[in-house]
A and B are shown apart, each in its own frame.
Chain A
Amino acid sequence: MFLITDLLAILAANLILTQALGTSTLFVAAKSRRGLLWTAVNIMLLTTGGSAAAYSIDILLPESAADFRLLLYIAAVGLLYILLLLLLYIISRKSFGERKKYVHLSAFNCAVMGTLLTISGRASGAPELMTLKGYVLAGAEAGFGFILAALILTAAYGRLSSEDTPASFRGFPAMLVYLGLISMAVYTLS
């Protein structure tokens, strides 16, 4: 019962289904299961690590320099992006060439940057959320939400891209309508 409640809570707070963040990335990632797995894991690492960095930036950045917040978030995500590439290179040089494209795809997109901006915005309106734990948990939750939305899309990807779907709607137009219907269901939960 707790698991179902938690699952519903994650769905209701899902950044893709409720805020359309990272939808294009999701469509690209859903084309192959391997791509989906790598992109989802990378995005989860970037949102979690990035939210810890965002906390430090939000704490240290004076209000007069708030316009530079986005630039600092980009620098933080960029640092994590390079660390991820280095880690991937150290772990397996053979598969680096194949897998690095998923790191490229995951780094600078609406899913990661939108998550950091959303968490920061929520925390500025509710001081009790302005903790490192609060930021990191919210970042991890957003990353998990991306995996969940990717799984939901993967379940229908084959059919929506098959010849059974009218040619005009085959592929991403049908997937957008499908995500819209899932989003409508989630809307009623929230």
Chain B
Amino acid sequence: MQNNKLSRSPGFSGFIGNNTVFAELMVISPVIMCGDTLQNAKALIYAFSAVTFISVIICCLLFRLLRRLPYAIRIMTYAAVGSLVYIPIKLLTQSLYPGALSRIGIYFPLLAVNSLIILQTEARFFKMRPFKMTASLVLHILGFDAAIFIMSVIRELFAYGTLNSRMVSSHLLISGLGAPFGGFILLGLLCGLYRRLSGSSSDIAEKADDENKAKESCDVSDN
């Protein structure tokens, strides 16, 4: 029950409870497509964390100016802020992780229009006080980082027999795990496992329904 309270508390939302990827199913395209090696995961973790944190903070500062404007204009502005923040982050990533951009391809620029910046700023972050918002934002970012780290370790180990590009074992290789369909299936299994572990068995069904409803209400804004 304590665990359940933690998972529903806004302060823990995003990381341990209501994980950004495993529970809220946000930013899953790069996890499925590029989260197959630790090298890719490190570059994505760096870029996603930097782009999302800086963009949401800037959007938060702009919100006072924008709040009287229509919702459509506001989310266009958030997308524009994300794409402008993305430019220096891309240049830094090129120097820190050479070759990562070509491996990650279109999923790298797509980080600039992720749903944490575009949708959750309005649906969640702006409704909080500054300190709580920053804590929640950091936890959501860490939630994504943890999810892609776990996915990439499992997939690299079992698809290629390597870890961080070093040979570990070649006895049990499931090459399909490195393909997109392997990403879909493993993510689905990890989501189920996460849901099982994050709540007592008696309220898993209730939680499953809650998550489905919460996802719908968060993603489809009524603004």
The residues of A with any CB-CB pair to B shorter than 8 Å are 17-25, 27-28, 31, 35, 67-68, 70-71, 74-75, 78, 81-82, 85, 101-102, 104-105, 107-110, 113-114, 117-118, 121, 161, 163, 166-181, 183-184, 187
Contact = CB atoms under 8 A, between A and B. Distances in A.
B193 A168 contact: yes
Contacts of B204: 167-168
B180 interface: yes
Contacts of A23: 25, 28-29, 32
A179 B196 CA distance: 21
B80 A75 contact: yes
Interface in B50-90: 71-72, 75-76, 79-80, 83-84, 86-87, 90
9 contacts: A20-B183, A23-B29, A27-B215, A78-B79, A81-B76, A105-B221, A113-B113, A168-B204, A169-B192
B7 to A, nearest CB: 14
A35 B217 CA distance: 13
Given A19-B29, A181-B185, 14 more contacts: A20-B28, A20-B183, A27-B215, A28-B215, A70-B86, A78-B80, A81-B72, A104-B223, A105-B221, A110-B113, A113-B113, A117-B109, A176-B191, A180-B183
Contacts of B83: 70-71, 74
Interface residues of B, number: 54
A120 to B, nearest CB: 9
B220 A177 contact: no
Contacts of B26: 24
B174 to A, nearest CB: 12
Interface in B204-223: 204-205, 208-209, 211-212, 215-216, 219-223
B220 A173 contact: no
Contacts of B215: 27-28, 172
B219 A24 contact: yes
Secondary structure dominating the interface of B: helix
A170 B205 contact: yes
Nearest to B105: A121
Nearest to B197: A168
Interface in B11-69: 25-26, 28-29, 32-33
B162 interface: no
Nearest to A118: B106
B28 A74 contact: no
A166 B219 CA distance: 25
B221 A171 contact: no
Nearest to A97: B222
Nearest to A81: B72
B118 to A, nearest CB: 5
A146 to B, nearest CB: 13
Q: Give me the 5 closest cross-chain CB pairs, A-B, nearest first.
A: A176-B188, A180-B184, A180-B185, A177-B188, A173-B191
B96 interface: no
A77 B105 CA distance: 21
Interface in B175-201: 176, 179-185, 187-189, 191-193, 195-196
